[in-house]
Structure 1
Amino acid sequence: MMQQNDEIGFFIKLISECLQKKANQTLKEFDLTLSQARILFYLHDRNETQTSLKDLEDFFEVTHPTIIGILNRLEGKDFVRNEHNSKDKRLKTIFLTEKGINLFFTMDHFRKTTERKMMQGLTSDQITELQSLLTTVYKNIQEI
């Protein structure tokens, strides 16, 4: 019989909380939240692809008002800007500013360092297997 501290979900929760805590400590220096940083990473990863509010809502699985709030704060800090879509003036396209791009590279260093620390002691085969297992667990939990 499994005790609470042996349950996979409990370990996932502990890992998630620890990552959030460490990320928030680092991001505080830049006056950012983890949600705001995730938006910056997403926009950077999409490179020059036009990104709409709907793209952000769908990817992060959050509501329109939530995305608007995050983007307003990022825009106020001059990390993102929005423009009307060239094909449909009713839509807005979101871009990183130069300041946002520079911040991305600073934050990316922290992300890579954290990732290396997390995977310390694992072989590349174990890391690949872990990624596969976690992907399966995520897909399974979505079906509940």
Structure 2
Amino acid sequence: MSEDIIFYIRLVYFALEREKNIYFESQNLTSSQGDILLFLGGAKRCQKEVNQKDIEQHFRLTNPTVTGLLNRLEEKGFVERKKSQADGRNKLIFLTEKSLAILDRFRDHKYIIDEKLFHNINQSEQEMILDYLKKFLTNLNNDTR
């Protein structure tokens, strides 16, 4: 292949991260903190309880790293930690009203990003791109050597 697809995927990733950071930095959040809020928002929509270990596993981060991120999010009023009613040793992580409002506004920002990303790309092409990206991910996660 004359053009390097890995290079272009990387450039697209960085451009998308830059777009996301524009929003989160305006809300006094780092990109990593914003990612955790997005993860918690997704879990909330699925009515799934989340503890620190879930965050560590999802993002493949160490316990000290996630502890630091959650401490800062809690200090800023974006999350609360509460003991689980099922197991008092387990602390669950919850979004606050403040973070829910930020995530609602992020959906508007995401719409703008989507509009930029898919400008001049029809619905059929969008579905094909997503299908290829899923296949890439499956191929890379399957060790077929």
- TM-score higher than 0.5: yes
In the alignment, structure 2 segments of 5+ residues that lack a partner are: none
**Which runs of structure 2 are paired with 1:92-103 in the superposition (5 Å)?**
92-103=91-102
Q: 1:130: which partner in 2?
A: 129
Q: CA deviation at 1:12?
A: 0.7
Work out which structure has the larger RCO, using CA pairs closer than 8 Å and 6 or more positions apart in sequence.
2
1: distance between equivalents of 2:105 and 2:122?
27
Q: CA deviation at 1:100?
A: 0.8
Matched, 1:38 2:22: no
Q: 2:80: which partner in 1?
A: 81
Q: What is the TM-score of this pair, normalised by structure 1?
A: 0.89
Q: CA deviation at 1:85?
A: 1.0
In the alignment, structure 1 segments of 5+ residues that lack a partner are: none
Give the count of matched residue pairs.
141
2: distance between equivalents of 1:122 and 1:26?
24
Question: 2:24 is matched by which residue type in structure 1?
Answer: L
The DSSP-based 3-state class of the residue aligned with 1:90 is coil
**Which runs of structure 2 are paired with 1:4-83 in the superposition (5 Å)?**
6-47=3-44, 48-83=47-82
Q: CA deviation at 1:25?
A: 2.5
Q: CA deviation at 1:32?
A: 0.9
Question: 2:114 is matched by which residue type in structure 1?
Answer: E
**Contact map agreement 2:25 2:31 (CA 8 A) in 1:** no
Identity over aligned pairs, percent? 30
Q: CA deviation at 1:95?
A: 0.4
The DSSP-based 3-state class of the residue aligned with 2:99 is helix
The DSSP-based 3-state class of the residue aligned with 1:46 is helix
2: distance between equivalents of 1:90 and 1:20?
36
Q: 2:90: which partner in 1?
A: 91
Q: What is the TM-score of this pair, normalised by structure 2?
A: 0.89
